[in-house]
Each structure stands twice: as C-alpha cells, then as structure tokens.
Amino acid sequence: MTLIQSPPTTIAHQKHARSVGRKHQALMLMFGVTAIILGGLGGRLAYLQLMQGHQNREMAESNRIRLLPKQPERGKILDRTGKILAGSRLSHSVFLWPLAQKKAEWSQTLARVSQILNIPVADIQKRLEQEGYNSPYRVRIARSISPQKVTALAENIGELDGVQVDAEAVRNYPNGDLAAHVLGYTGELTDDDFKKHPQDNYRLGDVIGQMGIESAREQDLRGEWGGQQVEVDGAGNVVKILGEKQTHAGKDVTLTIDLDLQKAAETALGNRKGAIVAIDPNNGAILAMVSRPAFDPNLFSTRISEKQWERLQSTDHPFVNRALQGYPPASTFKIVTTTAGLESGKFSPDTVLATSASIRVGGIDFGDWNHAGFGPQGFVGALTWSSDTFFYQIGMGVGDQTLIQWTRRFGFGQKTGIELGNEEAAGLVPDDEWKQKEVHESWFLGDTVNMSIGQGFLQCTPLQVAGMFAIAANGGYRVKPHLLKDNEAAQTWREALKLKPETVRILHEGLHGVVNGGTATAAFSGTDLAIAGKSGTAEDFGRESHTWFGAFSPVDKPKIVVVAFGENSGGGGGSFAAPMVRQVLEAYFHPDKAQKKQAEVVAAPRD
C-alpha cells in the first residue's frame, strides 16, 4: 500500500498566509491611530487658526511688539505781550514695562528700584498693578529725577529688566509762585480724575491741570499723544521701529495778565495775607491778580508725598484764591448806596443831611467811624470823609428792597463769569427770605443800616469789588472780568446800568475827594496821578479787621482799576491797603521807575 504525503511547501504556505493577514491588521491599526492623531492635530490647528487666530495673533504680537507712547508737550501760557508764564523743560522720568517680567519676577526689581529712587515698594507696585501686568504700555513711576538717580539706574540697568529711563517735557513756571492762583498747577491723574474724565482718553500717568488756567483750559493745553510701535527681542530690547505717530503739542493760551504789572502787585502785597486785583474798567480784562499766601507750582512737576501735601495745606490755606472769596466790603460799598439813593429819586444830587456821632435804630446805636460825625454833608462830602451816619440815612430812605436790587445790579451775589468759575465764590446778598431760612429771623431795619455801609451779612469778593469800581469809573457799565486775551465775547460784553449823568459825576467827585483832602490824602501825597478811590475797614468779630482800598485812574478817562484787600490785617483801609494801590498804579503809569525799584528790591541784601 502506497502512502501519499502532502508536500512540505503546503504547510509552509499555510503558516505564511496566516502571518500575512495579521501583519496587515497591525499596519491598518497603526494607520488608523495615526490618522486619528493627525486629524485631531489638524482640527485643533484649524480651530486655533480659524476660530481663535485673531486672538492668538494679538497675544503673540503683544509679547513681541510693544508701544512706546510719547506724551505731547503742553501748550504754553503767555502774558498779554507774549512773555512765558508757564512752559516746559526737559527732565528724566522712570518707566516700567509690565510685560518684561512675569508677575512673580517683579519683586526683586521693584525692591532695587525702590532703593535707588527712595520710593516705597508698595507705591511702585500699586502703579504697576493699576496698569496691569499684561499691559504693553509703559508705566511712569517717577518724574524729574536727579542726575544722581539717573546715573545710579544706568549703572544697574543690566539687573533691572523692564526698567527704562527716558527724557520728557515737564511743566515749568519760570517765575516761581508769581500768579500761582491764576496759572494753577499740573499733576498726574488721580483715581477721582479718571472718573471725572471717562470720555477724554486719559491714561494712567497722564498729566492734567489741577486748578487755575491749567485746569480751566485743559483741553487746549494738553495736546495729543503720539508714540512708536516697536519690535523687541526676548530681553526687551528694541530691534526695529515698526511705525510712529507724531505727537501734537497743546495750544498756547494768551492771558490778559501783564507780567510786569503782576510783579509790581506781588511786590506791593508782599507776604501779607490778602489779594490785589487790577482790571481794565472798559472791557474787564484782568491785568493782575495776586493772592497771598501762595505756593510754587513747580513743586508739582514731580510727585509730592502726602506729608508734603499736608504741610502745604496747613499754612493759612495757600491754595485758596482770596481774590475770588467773599468778605464784607465795608465802606467801599458806599458807591452802591450812593447810586441807589440818587437813582431811586428819593434823594436829589443836592441833598444835604446832618451827620452825628451815632443814630439810634430799633433801640441800637449805630455810630460813625470818627465817633463825632462830620456836620451837614452832601453826597460828595459824605464819600470824601466816608460818613457812616450819612449813608445810614440813605439806606433807610431807599429801603431794603431798592438797596438790595442795586446791589445785585452791580453784580454782587453772583459769579462774575471769569474763566476760573470753579474756584470763584458767588458772595452773598442777603434778604428777608435768606435771613429767615439761615438765621430764623425776619429782616430788621438795622440790617438795612448795616448793609448801607457794607457790613452785616453782605459778602463780596475782591474781583466783584473791582467790578463795582469799574462801573463808577466807566460811567455806568458793568463789565465781565476775563483772563483770556482772545476771548472776544468777554472783552466786548458790557451791560449799561443807564446811570444818570449826575450820579456818575457825584461818584467821580466824591471818590476823587477821598484822595485829595479826604481819608486817603496821606497815602497819595506827592503823586502826579489823577486818582479817585475809596477805603473800607470791615469788622470781623473776634479777630483783626479786614481792610480795603479801591481806586481808578485817570479820573476823567480811567484806564485801570486797582483793588487791594488785607485779610484780618488790622488798621484802616487808608493806611494799610491804599499804599499798595498807589504802588500798583505808579507801576502801571510809570513802568520804568517801577522796574528800577523792582530791581533794587531783588538786589537788596537779605538777612
């Protein structure tokens, strides 16, 4: 029997066939996994590119591209002849790049910067956090640093990632504290400032006017930011400038102030507490405005500490513009009482009244200032000698309503319209309604008596008093005081009070008599100027009296009104305030002599 065996190749072929099938399965599995992974990656890539591409590009660019903002130069403030009252100077400031380091890495850098600049770490960190650690903008942490600090930072700059020293313009007031209350000062925005200007595109570290013209004309003076967009390397170094936007300097602002006359007024007032105002009575242009005590606005070109700020605030309120605050006007107000008496028709220009040591009203004796009276007097004589008992009778004769009406027509009890309106008091013209509300009493005849000589509840600012003298000077026109030389609307704005020619004549003769033979003769003895004026001494119960003197010149065609005010100065208006007015008037009409005298004062040795 023959056995038939299968060839070996058949068995080998069967084993090979099974191996081949499994290998294909493994390859297919590997291909599948790969496809899934690639598909996932592709999908994610597509998502990142298509769905989040813009956002991711911004994040990448923010790490590579940064903005170097450049602050514009602030516009200059000029006097009426173009002399600089406020300008700019170059200074060094210190900035931080928030993106230069991670949040956790800043501590060591801040500690070193704090040591060099002598600024608390907490203050620097607060400013960095306000801007944000992911901000591409620089953060200013110090302004106007000393050359020594610039050198110290330069020597350590390799260890101070994200710290940069750069030159920029800072505000400069070449005359120090001269006209400080008119000009104001600038400072970096506070949190409150940000809230007040939400739509004005301010940034952290911006400089803004804080008072005076700097604040009132902020939008003109501030200018427009510019800067560079730059590419930086991993170390934060600029490798390429990608683009630049030019800054636009702020507009210059020209004031009506005369620098030389301002200097003369500042010298006249000296260190005494009070104010001096000089205006053109024909159009209301303010030629000089002084308030004391004052401050040096240059102090705010660098950041001051809270202790420095508190120290400045504690010394007799130097930031208060006393030319715009209310005080009882005293006998200067007899200009209004004269006008009310004559314009009411209840008293004729020829009226003569007996004056005496005092008159009794409602059981109270109201005395004359000389405790004797001046005998029979008309309006001119009563103004010349400032007889209180004469004007008591005029006030009672016209009545409280007429006197109050004329007081308001002269501009008292309301703001003048000056550009510094946020800092100006309206003053107070009291009446029966006000007294019942505030004092819980009705208006008495004695209130009218007090008001007739500028006492009682009446409150007027030195600027308002200057406006009153302007009405007497220019023949009966109420002008609008203004500081902007190019403010044509204010320059030409005048309201005619339609005074009778006889009223204007009596005011001129009576006020001229004050200086020539009356209460202020001694103060103006020897002057070659034709001056008309009036003094005032206001009681301030429990403290020294306030003193006033106002004047205009020349009498026939007045060009200037000057009012001087002494806060709790004591003495009398004729002895304390009148010499200051004379000094300013002579500086205006004889500038060469005034400048020579000013130079002598500056050159004089000091103890």
pLDDT value for 447: 97
pLDDT value for 28: 63
265-299: per-residue pLDDT in tens?
Answer: 999 999 999 999 999 999 999 999 999 999 999 98
Confidence of residue 164 (pLDDT cuts 50, 70, 90): confident
Mean of pLDDT values over 512-524: 96
Q: Find out whether 394 and 452 touch, Cβ atoms under 8 Å.
A: yes
Confidence of residue 374 (pLDDT cuts 50, 70, 90): very high
Mean of pLDDT values over 2-21: 43
pLDDT value for 68: 66
Enumerate the β-bridge partners of residue 289: 277
Calpha distance 16→213 (Å, rounded): 101
Judge whether residue 99 has pLDDT over 90.
no
Q: Find out whether 271 and 567 touch, Cβ atoms under 8 Å.
A: no
Average pLDDT, the chain: 86
Q: Find out whether 116 and 148 touch, Cβ atoms under 8 Å.
A: no
Judge whether residue 8 has pLDDT over 50.
no
Judge whether residue 236 has pLDDT over 80.
no
Calpha distance 510→533 (Å, rounded): 9
Rg for the chain, CA atoms, rounded: 39
Contacts of 97 (CB under 8 A, 6+ apart): 66, 138, 162, 163, 164, 236
Contacts of 20 (CB under 8 A, 6+ apart): none
Judge whether residue 44 has pLDDT over 60.
no
Mean of pLDDT values over 178-189: 93
Judge whether residue 204 has pLDDT over 80.
no
pLDDT value for 274: 98
Judge whether residue 191 has pLDDT over 80.
no
pLDDT value for 563: 98
Judge whether residue 521 has pLDDT over 70.
yes
Mean of pLDDT values over 434-448: 97
pLDDT value for 188: 80
Mean of pLDDT values over 497-506: 98
pLDDT value for 11: 39
Calpha distance 109→104 (Å, rounded): 11
Confidence of residue 595 (pLDDT cuts 50, 70, 90): low
Q: Find out whether 520 and 549 touch, Cβ atoms under 8 Å.
A: yes
Mean of pLDDT values over 362-388: 97
Judge whether residue 574 has pLDDT over 50.
yes
Q: Would you give the distance in Å from CA 353 to the centre of its chain?
A: 49
Q: Which of 529, 547, 538, 516 is nearest to 588 (CA)?
A: 529
The structure tokens listed for 262 are 């301002």
CA atoms within 13 A on the CB side of 39: 6
Backbone region of residue 498 per phi and psi (left: phi > 0; alpha: psi in -120 to 50; beta: other values):
left
pLDDT value for 17: 45
Calpha distance 537→546 (Å, rounded): 6
The structure tokens listed for 70 are 């450049």
pLDDT value for 13: 44
The residue annotated as part of the active site, out of 331, 386, 535, 553, is: 331
Judge whether residue 157 has pLDDT over 80.
yes
Calpha distance 128→140 (Å, rounded): 9
**Is 331 one of the catalytic residues?**
yes
Judge whether residue 602 has pLDDT over 50.
no
Higher pLDDT, 519 or 57: 519
Higher pLDDT, 90 or 532: 532
pLDDT value for 224: 79
Judge whether residue 251 has pLDDT over 50.
yes
Confidence of residue 6 (pLDDT cuts 50, 70, 90): very low
Mean of pLDDT values over 52-64: 51
Domains of the chain: 64-254 (3.90.1310.10), 259-282+319-603 (3.40.710.10)
Higher pLDDT, 567 or 28: 567
Q: Please give the sequence-ordered ranges of beta strands (E in DSSP) within 162-225, or none if there are none.
A: 163-172, 186-188, 207-209
Mean of pLDDT values over 129-154: 85
